[in-house]
Structure 1
């Protein structure tokens, strides 16, 4: 039998939040927001460890209550507005391996702010990674706008031009090359890629995308986003 990949699943949740106050633990439909991502990770059930990386004692206690491990409190230097996510995950991986005396082949990172992702999407991204062995897999959703058709930028002369110049004129958006939004929901990283100090982003020279539907891709980045998810739940358009 092939050796099983050892999986570390991370959920990063710092104490401060600009767009929505205390966003990571704000109550959504009776539970703190972070609870939904922890429950999805536990229900998926394939991770050897589900850990929360946080600088907040309060968030740590809530994360533990819903089933995540919190083997460390994140250093203040990695909990600022300018802290890079890759640096946070690299620290989490190193700290977990030292704490548990385990070596993980891959890291799956789930964002707290995407509470209505489907477990099938977590599994799909994971299986894509296992099958293809890329450096990373990240979730996306189809864009409503397309840089080859109806997105413009202002050039050095102050003139509006298409962001991406097509080879020939495109008259319908449907005929333009497919493009995607990174939806900040699911990331899968190869261990060595994540530990490489030159790595700064999920996008590598060998990255694949897992496409999710529009509703399950809703990401909470503002008060309006939070209210929109509450509306979707109230109208039974999504389930938690």
Structure 2
């Protein structure tokens, strides 16, 4: 089983400028994801894709095997993620003259995952026969109890009402907040369409404490706090 790890990191961040190479616990943010991928022992190659030379250099210094320059049209703040992953995978496969069986993408702004989370998500894919695996933490709000959405007339109601309603939260289906930390695909599933959810998609559960996604200065401070407690 040939496995590739991709890490996509744009240079332009509005919420936290320069966040992908900003130092967190003494190292560039992107280095945390590369070190976790290395520690998992799963990958034939770890590839960093970016439009920013400083990010590519930081990725190389942290141990990435392949540095992929991402085209500008795939690196804007409006560009979808999957086409960027497609480009990265195809470029690494072209260089190495082979196809990978499994691709795992690590979000560089999720530094609190463990190598064991990567191992667990990949194992879930390979052992279940699922086309792809996403990660998430138990949802803070349930669409059956406390998540409401606004209607066209300005009123609000439960996001997912059922009749009869659930009277105990424990009886409702479990719901999760996607954390974006890890995505795993079989190659054919990755390239068949740009849709994330497929028939058979599975979720690998992670705790809230390892699901922080750095998008604001507050997120960065919270990640620093949690790492200091580790």
Q: Give the TM-score normalised by structure 1.
A: 0.92
**Following TM superposition, where does structure 1 have runs of at least 4 consecutive aligned residues deviating by more than 4 angstroms?**
none
Residue 176 of structure 1: how far off its partner (Å): 2.4
Q: Answer whether contact 2:135 2:179 (CA < 8 A) is retained.
A: yes
Equivalents in 1 of 2:225, 2:68: separation in Å? 36
Say whether 1:214 aligns with 2:213: no
Q: Answer whether contact 1:20 1:223 (CA < 8 A) is retained.
A: yes
Partner of 1:83: 79
Deviations 1:85-110 (A, max 9, x none): 10011111111110111210110001
Say whether 1:7 aligns with 2:12: no
Q: Answer whether contact 1:33 1:112 (CA < 8 A) is retained.
A: yes
Equivalents in 1 of 2:195, 2:181: separation in Å? 15
Residue 135 of structure 1: how far off its partner (Å): 1.5
Equivalents in 2 of 1:229, 1:97: separation in Å? 34
Say whether 1:169 aligns with 2:169: no
Say whether 1:62 aligns with 2:49: no
Moved more, 86-95 or 70-79: 70-79
2:133 to 128, 132, 137: 137
Equivalents in 1 of 2:205, 2:58: separation in Å? 31
Q: Give the TM-score normalised by structure 2.
A: 0.96
SS in 2 for 1:109: strand
Residue 230 of structure 1: how far off its partner (Å): 1.2
Say whether 1:204 aligns with 2:207: no
Structure 2 segments unaligned to the other structure (5+ residues)? none
How many pairs are equivalent?
A: 230
Equivalents in 1 of 2:28, 2:199: separation in Å? 37
Residue 175 of structure 1: how far off its partner (Å): 3.2
Equivalents in 1 of 2:13, 2:195: separation in Å? 21
Two-structure CA RMSD over aligned residues (Å):
1.2
Partner of 1:33: 29
Q: Answer whether contact 2:47 2:68 (CA < 8 A) is retained.
A: no
